[in-house]
Amino acid sequence: EADIYQTPRYLVIGTGKKITLECSQTMGHDKMYWYQQDPGMELHLIHYSYGVNSTEKGDLSSESTVSRIRTEHFPLTLESARPSHTSQYLCASQNGQGVGEDTQYFGPGTRLTVL
């Protein structure tokens, strides 16, 4: 069973606020991902990391930033939240060390509403 955690689970904030969404995993996985998902829509990759001090932007243009200072921790920061950022944010981790180790495991998600 995957051990990946996200906090907060729900967040309602005003426009212009700076927020950080937390994601932690206890599996020692090198690879971690952030996805954005709107209701009934597919997952959009916004950031990923293949290890400590490694971060890359995904396909979805985003005004967020990430950091990877520790293997287990991959926070996502929005410097100035806007109503267009309202969405579900999903964090995932992956071992990726070879065949049979490629499965992504997801956290429970953070539902963000920007007023």
Q: Please, how many CA atoms are within 13 Å of residue 90, restricted to the half-sphere of its CB?
A: 16
CA-CA distance, 49 to 67, in Å (whole number)?
Answer: 9
Give the one residue of 45, 55, 60, 75 binding other proteins; rule: CB under 8 A: 45
27 binds other proteins (CB under 8 A): no
Edge-to-edge order in the sheet of strand 76-78: 4-7, 19-25, 76-78, 64-66
Q: Which is nearer to other proteins, 17 or 111 (CB)?
A: 111
Shortest separation between residue 16's beta carbon and other proteins, angstroms:
26
Binding site for other proteins (CB under 8 A): 2, 6, 31, 33, 40-43, 45, 48, 50, 58, 88, 90-92, 94, 96, 99-100, 102-109, 111
